[in-house]
Amino acid sequence: MVERYALEPLKSLWTLKAQYERWLEVELAVVEAYEEFGIAPKGTAQKIRERAQIDVDDILRTEAVVDHDVIAFVKSVTKNMGDEARFFHYGLTSSDVVDTATSLALKSATEEILCSCKSLANVLYEKAIRYKDLPTIGRTHGVHAEPTSFGLKFLSWYAELLRDIERLERAKEEISVGKLSGAVGNYANIDPKIERRALEKLGLKPTPVATQVIPRDYIAHLLSVFALIAGLIERIAIEIRHLQRTEVLEAMEPFKEGQRGSSAMPHKKNPILCERLTGMARLMRSYAQVAFENMALWHERDISHSSAERYILPDATMTIYYMLEKTRYLIESLKVFEEKVRNNLDLTKGLIYSQRILLALVDKGMSREEAYTLVQSIALECWESGESFRERVMQNEKVKTLLTREELETLFEPSYYLRNVDAIYERFKHDPKSENQKGN
Amino acid sequence: MVERYALEPLKSLWTLKAQYERWLEVELAVVEAYEEFGIAPKGTAQKIRERAQIDVDDILRTEAVVDHDVIAFVKSVTKNMGDEARFFHYGLTSSDVVDTATSLALKSATEEILCSCKSLANVLYEKAIRYKDLPTIGRTHGVHAEPTSFGLKFLSWYAELLRDIERLERAKEEISVGKLSGAVGNYANIDPKIERRALEKLGLKPTPVATQVIPRDYIAHLLSVFALIAGLIERIAIEIRHLQRTEVLEAMEPFKEGQRGSSAMPHKKNPILCERLTGMARLMRSYAQVAFENMALWHERDISHSSAERYILPDATMTIYYMLEKTRYLIESLKVFEEKVRNNLDLTKGLIYSQRILLALVDKGMSREEAYTLVQSIALECWESGESFRERVMQNEKVKTLLTREELETLFEPSYYLRNVDAIYERFKHDPKSENQKGN
Amino acid sequence: MVERYALEPLKSLWTLKAQYERWLEVELAVVEAYEEFGIAPKGTAQKIRERAQIDVDDILRTEAVVDHDVIAFVKSVTKNMGDEARFFHYGLTSSDVVDTATSLALKSATEEILCSCKSLANVLYEKAIRYKDLPTIGRTHGVHAEPTSFGLKFLSWYAELLRDIERLERAKEEISVGKLSGAVGNYANIDPKIERRALEKLGLKPTPVATQVIPRDYIAHLLSVFALIAGLIERIAIEIRHLQRTEVLEAMEPFKEGQRGSSAMPHKKNPILCERLTGMARLMRSYAQVAFENMALWHERDISHSSAERYILPDATMTIYYMLEKTRYLIESLKVFEEKVRNNLDLTKGLIYSQRILLALVDKGMSREEAYTLVQSIALECWESGESFRERVMQNEKVKTLLTREELETLFEPSYYLRNVDAIYERFKHDPKSENQKGN
Amino acid sequence: MVERYALEPLKSLWTLKAQYERWLEVELAVVEAYEEFGIAPKGTAQKIRERAQIDVDDILRTEAVVDHDVIAFVKSVTKNMGDEARFFHYGLTSSDVVDTATSLALKSATEEILCSCKSLANVLYEKAIRYKDLPTIGRTHGVHAEPTSFGLKFLSWYAELLRDIERLERAKEEISVGKLSGAVGNYANIDPKIERRALEKLGLKPTPVATQVIPRDYIAHLLSVFALIAGLIERIAIEIRHLQRTEVLEAMEPFKEGQRGSSAMPHKKNPILCERLTGMARLMRSYAQVAFENMALWHERDISHSSAERYILPDATMTIYYMLEKTRYLIESLKVFEEKVRNNLDLTKGLIYSQRILLALVDKGMSREEAYTLVQSIALECWESGESFRERVMQNEKVKTLLTREELETLFEPSYYLRNVDAIYERFKHDPKSENQKGN
């Protein structure tokens, strides 16, 4: 965990205390189920709940002796429990408690992350609407291509985020499983009914077939969806870093009152948040990699995944949550310099309209090859000389035989390029909270 | 591509010829759509289809000059096309063709891979049924734990594969998108209706918002699902490698007539197929990693993903397909030495039943702590001395005060541990082809 | 950072306090250099050293306003510094301080890690010597192959670790660079002489060409060497996990007094340390991956590496250090069951000597093909039937025409396979502390 | 292998034929050594060399039966060899041949790669010299910072490449090992002297301790160095992609005669080579990842590394070679638009000189805090209003009390920032072929 990137409520989720509390919650759910099915006497769960005390230091001291975290937990918690202690952890193996509790933590974390995704989606949609009619230069390969809508940038992220939300919903559904099936997962000492009832109380379902542990594909799947979300955020961050370049300066990430860009250069406003997010995306990919490697455990389980998960589960959930929260803030507070956006559109003096000229010539009957050669030759000359492509085209004899001045003038209007943008927006319903909005 | 691991029909999918054929298919679908909407004259598509010839060498020669693969393709294919050439590639940008065609390839590949998954699922389910009642020692940390069902190994893989099939179905659905929206994805020179109609002919849907390209999260998602499947196959392969160890030898991968295990040691039968699959899982993870990195393109696209995809798309699809086909063969032909399975169950002379003794003592009123200490001390002594735990327990005075000989004898029966196995199997419907079979 | 895996002295290295102290150390070295070169008045450094106070909370409060960690540090530290504050941070850019200090931290960390490597090397060498003459079955593909020396396992790890030590020495040498060259690395406001002198005081050299930052290949190189060391430790851990399998049980990792293997099964002694190390190796690989991605910064620097490094630099150094320390303990305390090692050698009833029989027959004039076919056929029969290969060979008529009983008996002696082992050991000098010991 | 990226001589190195030829080379070296030591009769090697024929198809047909590549090779090659066949592959295990031959391939490949590195280093050094005195704006976070030398970009890459060359030299030295020590690496059936002599003939040294195979850390180390080189190339490629942005346009990658940038937009010149290299860097990182995972083999070896290496060894060596060759071409042919470089320097109307003003004020006695606040406030105003910072500073009353107009004018000269650049260049000897040129 990196303190400065640990936001609540995710941070509290991963304290040792919170972990022990989840373990206790699982143990209690099992006792309650035993009670319901008449295996434990009425009132057992209530008494245990009253007497069970989590003393983090005591548990750790015990663990230092027994070298086993769950045994230490059980020993410490049942210390003053009296007779009812017999039903505490009864029929369970350590992983029943640990893995079910991990699912609880991941489910909670994923719910927060989903919430944050949806807030971000709302903000992206708002900006998409706001900048729908602002023409901007579309850039491919970093080179000016053709005009497009500034809003489409946001809409494209929004559409990708909707896919991610859908993926994450499923991954959350998947991860909402527990297992209370004993040492090798065959219910030797616990009835499947107890598992089902106890998990139900916890908001989980049984994993269909467990070994000693819940298979690790669930976690690997979840972390690979996080990596996808991180990839989108990286895409957003890199776009804004580009837009904030001194030469481009079409947008700028928020700069706080009192903030200083550099210890040396007072004029600098740097996209440090976007850069931070970019670096974090690398981490998120690496967590997925570790989770993939964690899948192939030996026989009915080995515990190699455990040390790795102690790092990556808290770090992956906290980091993606931080990324989402900061991205929402970033988009919300993003400064867009509309005038600069418009100015940049004219930077190439009309060259970006070359494709339109080309197609207009083809429409008038010129072969595609000939039109391409003609337009490219004018374009390349202007590119070298700095002359205005617009003017050179208007004066070209071949062009003039096919196109009138009026026709030519309309060919250099950016609005033309945005005429079908509405059709793209119509693919999305008006309530951005509803996710099933893919092209219909 | 590694020749020896390239299986049909996947291999043919990725030849240069097949790629150009897909490009042509896309171009033709667009022309047909133009024709339907009255933009191209009736009969245009038919004429183009008749005259379009794919000459791989000619395309490559042209590419050597123009340094652009799609331009070379269009030039070469339209060479003798006559007047209709005007409608060929009309209004399109290269990526419209390339990306839509890539989706076609990935969709086809994924269909084959899904098919292979389902065949494997069937075989796993059959083996799960076949070995349901064979007791085997469950091993955690590589150490004997408690008896379980040999069939559960297969059922556990089967259950995980069902999850993967579900994930893959969704990823296939997702990847079945094309884009025919021009240079920056805003339909400046092509009507969204043309895109919808042309894609429909190809069995695809429009991606809701494209830039110049289809966003790369689709591919990253698909390849991360492949990595999950590879993780399962690695899990299976490692299990069999363990079972085939000389000291364990409960199962063996098929050994072909005439096959030689070693140039030096004639007695050796090595799990080389499982080892090969293990190595391949590492590759599959690495492809996902590259695909994640490919997501954050600059502005309306950069082409950095392209070189990487030329490697990973063919390799990832061919390798996972090879892995699945070989795993099915492996499971189908797997030799299981049932006698050895039973013998290994007794290797610890009863130690594996310690948990049952422990719980029986607790049931009879001993505190969990006391029972644990007692059972562990006997167990540790036997472990050191090699004595039979079963016999030592039967002779222990404290034990005898609580448990009769008859009671004790039933505690050392493996069947006890399998009594709830049926309940696990009942979670799965009888038709293994239907995938929605998770715990109910 | 994962608390339970954070060992001293590495842990203290990465506290916020320790970081600020390193920053101060760098700032002071620069002031001292200024003083030496007559730029600052005599006594400046001394006065600054006396008045500079690190108040972690105050720095963090300041950072909350200025959103820049170094500016906050300078502001807070110089608060009560008086006139000399003018020379504090004079001519420097933030990264001069941050990157030089990071090199100090990495250098210190690497020194500890190297130390730990060397201790481990000593222990491995001792064990290699100790078990040199213990014959054991060599296993390839998990299948019994030919006898070898148990000590060679350790010697093989030792030899690999010597290579890693050499790689790490170089990486440490490399990382021992600082940069004090200003905002874009061109010494606009600081003389290269000041840099050289200040870095000398800190035990560092100037990086030959910096941008605003030290190029990130240094760190990527260091972390890839860590990943190599982790790969070796994983190799060791997996070997021991195999040897501790119930069916093999030739060795066991230390089991502490009071330790409990399982909450359910008192007889279990699990190789949990080795499993933990296995999981950690996955992390170490993932850190290298992030570090590789951190290399390609924009122009004269972007700060995307920074967030990622806040995680991976502490975690990578602390984790590899933990792995090394625990591996040394593991090897030191490893229990080897020599009798079991010898018993396992006979598990195949002589089959492992088949290659020797084969070669003896070839020596006596049989063609390799014929000998191979003969030996393999006997071997395969024994493998199926469980008969003794040794006896079947001794009774085979074809064999008997070429080899006498006495000759045959010597062919089944494991000592034969160890006759050249001394020659391998002789490749290593007797002082394991000296690293340049590769085959000569 | 991706055909279009496979360059000679690397491509020929990885054909099946070349592989078999290397195997034969290894087998022959062993026979020659046997002959020298009197184990094989004089003339054996010569006769074998004459009669050994590599028939790729025959070997593959044989492999289809025996399912073992080396056995198939030996069978096929010795088919018509007569009596001498007895000494062919005598005392060897398959991996002796395969691994030693792999080292030969990797050594050859690395030599070519090193050569290509050195050519690139020369070209980088030339460009560094050529543009040493061209002032350019240094950019941090993508934002204009302070002037620097355009040549320093190249010198920085050059310096990093020198480090990579040094790393690669060592990795090549390391990888130049073979092993001819039999089934489990203990020389049971071959004398270490034979190994030493045979390897000497091949230009290799024995690996100090082998198992059945050469430990995989050698390959992992080599591939991690390749990933470092790829990281540098990515850094170069991203710089040029930035410089070629329409808004920046200070440099452009070569555009071939006849090349077309886009099927739609004739004016476009895209940095497609740089983008291609960027994508390839992702692949190179992924190969290192696989190689790290390949290290921890079971016991005396498992063969899981083999399938993975069939992909990554050819692909990694061919791809990094392609990257280096193309980068050299790129740098050699790079177009630099010096006028644009100079124009961009003035884009902020003097803001980039703010740090100098700040320091000048401090030199004149203003406190750093006060100076910072003053300069930042002017800077921020100009940033908002578009006014000239230079003019506003010159008119500021506080400034004027401390600095004369003449003093101020010199503060706005870029040459100031380059005054120490020569000192950086002096760190490098004049012969770029010699690599030990780090800061002295």
Per-residue pLDDT reduced to its tens digit, C288-342:
999 999 999 999 999 999 999 999 999 999 999 999 999 999 999 999 999 999 9
The yes-or-no verdict on residue A434 having pLDDT over 60 is: no
Contact criterion met (CB < 8 Å) for B186 and A138: yes
Where does the pLDDT of residue A430 fall: very low under 50, low under 70, confident under 90, or very high at 90 and above? low
The mean of the pLDDT values for chain A is: 93
The CA distance from A74 to A77, in Å, is 5
The whole-angstrom distance between residue C101's C-alpha and the CA centroid of its chain comes to 23
Using a CB-CB cut-off of 8 Å, the residues of chain B touching C344 are: 247
What chain C residue is nearest to D352 in terms of C-alpha separation? Answer: C183
The CATH number of the domain covering residues in C101-344: 1.20.200.10
pLDDT, position B86:
87
Q: Provide the pLDDT confidence category of residue D438 given band limits of 50, 70 and 90.
A: very low
Sign of CA dihedral A282, A283, A284, A286: positive
Token reading at C175: 């990382």
pLDDT of D320 over the 80 cut: yes
Distance (Å, rounded) from C-alpha A283 to C-alpha A281? Answer: 5
Domain span(s) for CATH 1.10.275.10 in chain D = 3-87
- Residue range(s) occupied by CATH 1.10.40.30 in chain D: 351-411
What backbone phi and psi angles, to 5 degrees, belong to C12?
-65, -25
Which of the following CATH numbers is that of domain C3-87: 1.10.275.10, 3.30.70.100, 3.40.640.10, 1.20.120.80?
Answer: 1.10.275.10
Closest of A213, A12, A223 to residue A108, by C-alpha = A12
pLDDT of residue D431: 54
List of residues 6+ apart from C298 with CB closer than 8 A: A241, D139, D141, D142, D238, D239, D242
**CATH code given to domain A94-255+264-344:** 1.20.200.10
| Residue from A217, A226, A234 to probe the interface with B (highest B Cβ count within 10 Å) | A217
CATH topology of domain C351-411: Ribonucleotide Reductase Protein R1; domain 1 (1.10.40)
Q: Is the pLDDT of residue C264 over 70?
A: no
Question: What confidence tier does C269 reach under pLDDT thresholds 50, 70, 90?
Answer: confident
Query: Which pLDDT does position C306 carry in this prediction?
Result: 97
- Low-confidence winner among A214-218, B200-204, D347-351 (lowest mean pLDDT): D347-351
Q: pTM for this structure?
A: 0.95
Residue B238 or C378, more confident: B238
Q: What is the pLDDT, as a whole number, of residue B119?
A: 98
- Report, as residue numbers or ranges, the catalytic residues of C: 141, 262
Write the pLDDT tens digit of every residue in B255-264: 876 666 654 4
Q: Which residues of D touch B287 (CB under 8 A)?
A: 286
Q: Which residues of C touch B383 (CB under 8 A)?
A: 267, 269
pLDDT of residue C437: 44
Separation in Å, CA of C353 to nearest CA in chain D:
11
Q: Can you identify the CATH homologous superfamily of domain D94-253+261-344? A: Fumarase/aspartase (Central domain) (1.20.200.10)
pLDDT the model gives residue D297: 97
What is the pLDDT at residue D59? 96
Quick check: A348 and D275 CB within 8 A? Answer: no
ipTM: 0.94
> Within 10 A of B50 (CB to CB), how many other CB atoms are there?
10
pLDDT at res. A437: 44
Percentage of chain D with pLDDT > 90? Answer: 82
CA C252 to chain centre: 22
D267 among known catalytic residues:
no
- Fold classification of A8-87 is Fumarase C; Chain B, domain 1 (1.10.275)
Listed in order, the ranges of chain B carrying CATH 1.10.275.10 are 10-87
CA-based torsion, C144, C150, C151, C154: positive or negative: positive
Subunits that touch chain B (at least 3 Cβ pairs < 8 angstroms)? A, C, D
Cβ separation B296–A167 shorter than 8 A:
no
Mutate to test the interface with A, among D268, D277, D278 (most CBs of A within 10 A): D268
Please report, to the nearest 10 degrees, the dihedral formed by the alpha carbons of residues A367, A371, A372, A377 taken in order.
150
> Which residue in chain B has the smallest CA separation from C243?
B142
Chains that touch D (3 or more CB pairs under 8 A): A, B, C
Q: How far apart are CA D275 and CA A141, in angstroms?
A: 8
The runs of H, that is alpha helices, within D176-303 are 192-202, 217-243, 272-293
Pick the residue from chain C with its C-alpha nearest to D426: C208
Q: Given an 8 Å threshold on Cβ–Cβ distance, is D1 in contact with B4?
A: no
Predicted local distance difference test score (pLDDT) of residue B268: 74
CB-closest option in B4, B258, B306 to D66: B258
One-character DSSP codes across B268-304: ----HHHHHHHHHHHHHHHHHHHHHHTS--STT--SH
pLDDT in tens, A232-251: 999 999 999 999 999 999 99
Q: How far is C385 from chain D (nearest CA, A)?
A: 23
Residue D313: name the closest of C356, A142, B283, A318 by CA: B283
CA-wise closest residue to A183 among A264, A97, A115: A97
Report which of residues A310 and D431 the model is more confident about: A310
CATH 1.20.200.10 placement within chain D: 94-253+261-344
Considering only alpha carbons, which residue of chain D is nearest residue B68? D260
Signed CA dihedral, D167, D173, D176, D181: sign only? negative
Which of B185, D43, D82 minimizes the C-alpha distance to A139? B185
- pLDDT tens column, A284-316: 999 999 999 999 999 999 999 999 999 999 999
Task: Kindly report the nearest CA distance between residue A142 and chain D, in angstroms.
Answer: 5
Query: Which CATH homologous superfamily contains domain B10-87?
Result: Fumarase/aspartase (N-terminal domain) (1.10.275.10)
Please give the structure tokens belonging to residue D259: 């090349």
For chain C, give the mean pLDDT: 93
Report residue D355's pLDDT band, with 50, 70 and 90 as the boundaries: confident
Average pLDDT value for residue range A403-415? 93
Which positions in chain A touch D141 (Cβ < 8 Å)?
Answer: 241, 268, 270-272, 275
> B94-344 maps to which CATH number?
1.20.200.10
CATH 1.20.200.10 in chain C, residue ranges: 101-344
pLDDT at A267: 56
Most confident of A349-358, A377-386, C421-430, D202-211: D202-211
Cα–Cα dist A293/C101, whole Å: 34
pLDDT in tens, C173-223: 999 999 999 999 999 989 999 999 999 999 999 999 999 999 999 999 999
Which pLDDT score, from 0 to 100, does residue A145 have?
92
Q: Which residue has the higher pLDDT, B355 or D402?
A: D402
**Is the per-residue pLDDT at C282 higher than 60?**
yes
- Mean pLDDT, chain D, rounded, equals 93
CATH 1.20.200.10 maps onto chain A at 94-255+264-344
Tens of pLDDT, residues C163-187: 999 999 999 999 999 999 999 999 9
Q: C354 and B265: CB-CB below 8 Å? A: yes
Q: What is the largest CA-CA distance in chain C?
A: 102
pLDDT under 50: residue ranges of chain B: 263-264, 432, 435-440
Distance between D101 CA and the closest CA of chain B, angstroms:
17
**Residue B320, Cβ neighbours under 10 Å: how many?**
29
| Cβ separation D208–C424 shorter than 8 A | yes
Considering only CB atoms, B278 lies closest to which of D276, D280, D304, namely: D304
B262 catalytic per annotation? yes
Q: Percent of chain B scored above 70 by pLDDT?
A: 95
Count of CB contacts below 8 A, B vs C?
Answer: 132
Of C192, C221, C368, the CB nearest to D85: C368
Label residue A262 by pLDDT band (50, 70, 90): low
